Amino acid sequence: MTLQDRDKKHLWHPLTQHKLHPETIAITKAKDCVLYDENGNEYIDAIASWYTCMYGHCNEYITSCVATQMQQLDQVVFSGFTHEPAIKLSEALIKILPDNQNKIFFSDNGSTSVEIGIKMALQFHFNKGEKRNTLIAFEDGFHGDTFGAMSVSGLSVYNGPFEDFFLEVKRIPTPNGENNEAILNTLNAIVETNKVAGFVYEPLVQGAAAMKMYNSEGLNAILELCKKHGIVTVADEVMTGFGKTGDYFASLHIDTKPDIMCLSKALTGGLLPMALTTCSEKIYEAFYSNDISKGLFHGHTYSANPLACTAALASIELLQSEVIQQNIKAVIASHKAFNKRIKTHPKVKSTRQTGIIFALDLNIEMTRYGNLRDKLFKFFLDHGVFLRPLGSTIYIQAPYTITKEQLQKIYQVIEDVLEIV
């Protein structure tokens, strides 16, 4: 039996209705920017496997560092113990994070990093003797699949069955430069009539909302208003973090820095699962007490796993290297050149770019997971490129190590698909 056939016996895949989509592609190998399936087909990984493998698959520097570490220390409880990989990672991270970030809390994935950020925001006020029970979030945001993260997410396609169980959340539109003042008026009204604990947001780019990009000045004004009213700001940089917006973090493009940041995905270069929730000293101080009940009682078995910490440290070293920084600049320039020739195509409704993230909207009405979307997905795979359309949006978020030739193939297959839709 093939791997594909064996898969069907027991496996339940994410974001999949198996009755409609019973087939999976069995990947047997990955190297640099290419995936290889069991039939010998090759696919350029144009989305870095959900934005994780930004330094290429099986990066030899990352894997060699982890191979060395696994001979020394594989896993140890992080409650009451510590270890050098976690300490070195914290020291490296603090150097590149916004300068108000000072404490780092470990978990396992992007959703849990947001869950912890929400708990920090709510307990921050609780510990100070003030009960605040409302959160603010953007419309169409996505922050993960655990309950707190779902609560602040606005994409009902993922959340429908669970909405009756959510935290109290008020939603505001993303700023576009024209609605900035109206949003501030709405926000003021929410603050006046609710006890707002925190504001959770994806800075500059909303990933699952089809790479929706919005106005940085408007976001800064929102953050300033939150700061004025003592609302804890939580930046979900699970997708945008570690170089994708052209700087180490999207929050570095914005004058007003978040109180809390949520990080995962590219954190370990795609090698191992790990996440971080970082915060300012002000947030941490609200938990620092002789009263044990004021501590943050949240923990994961694999928190600060030494191997994952080592992968993350190696990834940060690569991110800061001259080679990767030059590659990022080259990808940004290449996307801009592609945009010039594609944006006027009659089948293209709009285009947008932030850093190495490029997206275009087709001038066609289609559902997020409908037949036409599936047709596009299959076309890309049949032509050796792994692109995963979000409804009518086609986006690129390839590894920083992608070659010029591979980028051109991605562009070409997008141009080719416009002729069949």
Annotated binding residues for pyridoxal 5'-phosphate, as ranges?
Answer: 110-111, 236, 300-301
d(CA 307, CA 182): 48
**Strand 34-37 and strand 42-45: pairing?**
antiparallel
d(CA 382, CA 379): 5
CA 178 to chain centre: 27
d(CA 284, CA 291): 14
Residue 245: name the closest of 45, 113, 54, 393 by CA.
Answer: 54
Backbone angles phi, psi at 314, to 5 degrees: -65, -40
d(CA 120, CA 117): 5
For residue 351, list its beta bridge partners. Answer: 360
The DSSP symbol for 167 reads: P
Known binding-site positions for substrate: 50, 265, 299, 388
Alpha helices in 25-69 (DSSP H): 48-51, 60-69
Tell the residue number behind the tokens 């935290």, with chain if given.
167
Residue 63: name the closest of 269, 300, 206 by CA.
Answer: 269
d(CA 307, CA 73): 8
Q: Which amino acid is at 403?
A: T
Known binding-site positions: 50, 110-111, 236, 265, 299-301, 388
**Strand 134-138 and strand 196-201: pairing?**
parallel
HSE of 202, CA atoms in CB hemisphere, 13 A: 29
